[in-house]
Amino acid sequence: MFLRTSNRKAISVVLTTMIILVASVVLGTGVVIYGTSLFQTGAQQEEITTQGIKVWVNSSEPTGIAWGAAGVRNSGDKIISVDNILVRGATVPFTQWFVDSNQSRVTSENFQSQFNSTGFNLNANMTDSEDAGVTPTSQCATDTTNDATTLEIDLDGTATKPTLCLLQSTGPVSLTTGQRMVIYFKMPAGVLTSIDSGSTISVSIFAGKTGAPTSVTVANT
């Protein structure tokens, strides 16, 4: 005769089934949340749009004094940092960038303007001094005549469009989604010379890996 044993510590079939069901629901929810997170991350794009890129070279200076200008807009979904400008493959140092990203001055009208050269002074700078062809309007808080850290540029010569106040940069320029900036940049000596006037060159503006080369015809001033 065999004795019947009773294992009171065993988990009942009902309880086991409930545990399996709960675990399945938890795992399924986790997979859905993870998949949604990946989709949202993938859907957000880093993208910049450039507008009206211009390049000028001093035709009377054979050693090569050249400036460029562009409008840049964050047209993606993430905050970006504009961190590189290449002209013919040469990097333009941050200290030779002059930027205005104030949206009250960088209006859509200013952003879509045909950026104009203000000329070159004897120190090869494009400043807000009289010998650079721009009359200071004192709209910049740091504005002083011959201030080498500030460019004050009126794109239409009237009070219709706000005067741009471009400050010398010290590093990458951050732009939130939809934010615009206007940038003037001085190229390293020798990248362009007077003989390049009228030729087509490549200018690239990058925010990380985002950006693309643009073909630009060199004008003289």
The CB density around residue 2, as the number of other CB atoms within 10 Å, is 4
- The identity of residue 72, as a single letter, is V
- Helix H or strand E segment including 14: helix 13-43
* Mean pLDDT of the residues in the chain: 77
| 3-state secondary structure (DSSP) of residue 157 | coil
Residue 148 lies in a domain: yes
State whether 88 and 30 are in the same domain.
Answer: no
State whether 107 and 24 are in the same domain.
Answer: no
- Judged by average pLDDT, the poorest of 87-91, 122-126, 168-172, 196-200 is 122-126
**218 has a pLDDT exceeding 50:** yes
Residue 175 lies in a domain: yes
Give pLDDT tens digits for 2-19. Answer: 555 555 555 566 666 767
Q: State the average pLDDT over residues 114-132.
A: 54
As to burial, measured by CB atoms within 10 angstroms (0-12 exposed, 13-18 middle, 19+ buried), residue 4 is exposed
Name the range with the highest mean pLDDT among 43-47, 90-94, 112-116: 90-94
Give the total number of structural domains in the chain.
Answer: 2
Residue 180 lies in a domain: yes
State whether 28 and 98 are in the same domain.
Answer: no
**159 has a pLDDT exceeding 90:** no
For residue 35, give its domain range: 11-43
- Asked whether the beta carbons of 187 and 70 are under 8 A apart, the reply is no
CA pair distance 149, 154, nearest whole angstrom: 17
- The identity of residue 151, as a single letter, is L
